Each structure stands twice: as structure tokens, then as C-alpha cells.
Structure 1
Amino acid sequence: MKWPVLPTILVSVAVATMIGLGIWQLQRKEQKELLLARYEAAADLDPVTWPAVPDKANLPLFRKSTLMCIKVVRIESVSGSNREGKAGFAHIASCSTGGAEGPGAKVAIGWSERPESPKWAGGLVNGIVAPDNVQLIKLVVTDKVEGLDQLSLPSPQQIPNNHLLYAIQWFIFATAAAVIYVLALRKRMQSA
């Protein structure tokens, strides 16, 4: 029987790539743990000035901050939960901040059982900086807003760290590919 050189090379490269991806995920796990530890420590730090333009590489997540909502541009309602964990609607105001605080900010002002947007005129608000999918950050208000319950506070525990599971998956894929290839070779050798 002639040894299948090209298939052996291809399978070896694939297995090596999967092992490399598993090792990379283990490295990402360590990086994520350091980031989450930094976020955990942020609650005890002094408040930060609301950034005019958020630095994507150094977001002040989970830090206390204050901003002035000069004008409420609009309020949207999205799914959210209150401090007791009850599901309902979070009301997010898009605010014009002007001046040194930049062009605008998102402010999560509170929670209600109904999606109807509340009347809120803006003003000075205190809160905790949380991640936002569009503007990178938003301020979750810690002050009570009239007519609304307080939203659940943002927490680093809400950020998943699944890198160990991803690493295990890649190692399983590599093992499966190697075992399948060895079994295929063995079957080929027996039939030859």
C-alpha cells in the first residue's frame, strides 16, 4: 500500500490549525479574565468625566459618571429588567450634550412594564457607564426618574467568558479529525 501523502499533509495541517485555535482561545480566556477583573475594580474608582468621543480601546465601563442631557432627541423602549429582576422595558434617551461633553449620549433612564416612552426633559444625571452596541457606551441612571422604576445595574458578570469552552471545542475537533483519519487509514490498510 502506498502511503497517502497529500491527505496526510492536509489532515495534519487541519489538526495543527485546530490545536492552534484552541491555544489561542486559552490565551483569550486569560485576557478576558484580566479585563473582567479591571471592570470589577471599576466600581470602587472615582467617577470619570463622560467622554466626548469614547476611546474603543479604553472604555470607562462600569465606572460612575455624570452628564448633562441638554435636550432629549428621542426615547426608545427596549427589553430590560428592573432592580428586582422583573422583565419589562428599559427606556433609553438619546441626548444632545453639546459643549465639552461632545455631540450626544445615550442615557438609560429607567424601567416600566409598558413600552410607552415616558416624558423626560433631561438634565443632570448620575449613573454607571455600560456597554452599548451602537455608541459603545451609555449611562445607566442611578438616580430615580419620576414615573419609572430603576433599571438593573450594569455588571461585569453580564459579560460572558466562554473562551475555555471554545478551546475545548477546538481540541475535540482536532482529536476527532485525527482519530477519523487514523481509522480511515487502518481500514484502507486492511483492505489492501
Structure 2
Amino acid sequence: MRRIPVIATVLVLVAVAVMIALGFWQLDRLHQKEALLAHYAGAQRLAQEVDWPRDARGQEDLLYRHARLDCVAVTDHSSIAGRNAKGESGAAQTADCTLADGTRARVVLGWSRLPMAAGGWPGGEVHGVIAPGPRLVASPPLAGLDANAVPDPADIPNNHFAYAVQWFIFAAMALVIYALAVIKRNRA
């Protein structure tokens, strides 16, 4: 029987070890994502409204909470793809606001089939839900628009278990393919 090639075997084993480590990393990410989604779901159930957070960390911590802000000046209007409360596709109408302390916030005013349907909204008090971005999705909608779909943490994908399984399958396939190659080489 011929010898097993040392360098090729070491390379394959290192690659397999990396794939297995990536699989376990994805399992760890799965648990982190589950905890994050549970945090968001809990935040969504809290009825008490909070002030719009002024810094990025506060915005991340308060995602899916009910919040309020006072838009003292609108610096820009735009529209992005979005869905209304009925699930229909259209345009979410947004406004970039400056708050009294000079910080900025993006507000999703409401939904329309037409882009730029709320270009004349002058600002004011806004109540809604903090969505990723971050942005405040107005509830009730403003500027005569229809209601947007309420931001829901259940819409955030959690595919880490599938990714972990993929990495473990890749590792197993690499071992099988390498074993078959060594067997074929030794028979030749």
C-alpha cells in the first residue's frame, strides 16, 4: 500500500478544521441572534413611549420601541420601497429631520403608491416605532399618507443554523472527496 501524501493531508485537515470552526461560529451566532430577536420582541411589546435616542448605541438598544420626536426642520424628502399595513408594495415616504438639539433623524411618514407623495410635509411632532436604519416609522401616518407596515423583528432572518449545517456538510464532503482521491491514487 502506498503512503498517504503528507502535505496534501495536512492542507485538507486544516481546511476541514476551519470549516468545522466556522460551523461552530455560526451556532454561536445563532444563539446571539435568538437573544437579540427576543430582546426586540420584548421591546415591541412595551407600550411606554420613549424619546428618540440621540446616539447610535441608544438607537440600536431601542429598536422596535414606541418613540416620539419633534422634527423642527425638514432637510430632505425622499421615498424608498416599502409595504403598507395591508402588505401592498409601494413607496415609503421619508423625511430627514433636524431635532431641536441639532441631531438628525429619519422619519418614515407613511406609504403611497407614488414616489415623493409627501414632499410638502413641514415637520412637527412624530410618534411611531423605531425601525432598523434607524428610522422612526410614524404611527399614525402623517401628511395624508396611508399607514406603513409596522416594523416587526420577526421579519429579521435567522439563518445561522442552516449556515452551520452547510459548513459541517462542506467539511464532511472534503474528507470524503479526499479519502476517495487517496484511494484512487493508491490503486493506480
Give TM class, smaller chain. Answer: over 0.9
Partner of 2:90: 88
Q: What is the TM-score normalised by the length of structure 2?
A: 0.94
Closer, same or farther: CA 167–7 of 1 in aligned 2, 3 Å: same
Q: Is there any run of 5+ residues in structure 2 with no aligned partner, and where? A: none
Instruction: Provide the rounded CA distance (Å) in 2 between the counterparts of 1:151 and 1:121.
Output: 19
Aligned amino acid, residue 11 of structure 1: V
2:45 is paired with a residue of what secondary structure?
coil
Q: Which amino acid aligns with 1:76?
A: S
- The answer for the alignment partner of 1:110 in structure 2 is 110
CA distance in 2, matches of 1:56, 1:146: 28
Counterpart position of 1:181? 178
Does the 8 Å contact 1:75/1:117 carry over to 2? Answer: no
Distance between the aligned counterparts of 1:117 and 1:168, measured in 2?
Answer: 46
- Spell out the pairing of 1:1-192 with structure 2 (5 A cutoff): 1-45=2-46, 46-55=48-57, 58-99=60-101, 102-118=102-118, 119-132=120-133, 137-191=134-188
Residues 57/171 of structure 1: CA separation in 2 closer, same or farther (3 Å cut):
farther
Shift, 1:58, TM fit? 4.5
Are the counterparts in 2 of residues 98 and 104 from structure 1 also a CA contact under 8 Å?
A: no
- Alpha-carbon distance between aligned partners in 1 of 2:176 and 2:158, rounded to the nearest angstrom: 29
Contact 2:49–2:67 (Cα < 8 Å) also in 1: yes
CA displacement, residues 134-170 of structure 1 (integer Å, 9 cap, x when unaligned): xxx1100012323210100100011110101110110
Matches of 2:89 and 2:59, distance apart in 1: 32
- TM-score w.r.t. the length of structure 1 is 0.92
Matched residue type, 1:151: N
Q: Percent identity?
A: 45
1:181, 1:3 → 2: CA distance?
11
After TM superposition, the runs of 4+ consecutive aligned structure 1 residues lying more than 3 A away are: none
Distance 1:77 1:28 in 2: 33
| C-alpha distance in structure 2 between counterparts of 1:51 and 1:116, whole Å | 27
| Distance in structure 2 (CA, Å) of the matches to 1:177 and 1:3 | 16
Secondary structure of 1:43's partner? helix
Q: Deviations over 1:44-84 (max 9, x none)?
A: 22322211122179531000110000011111011111000
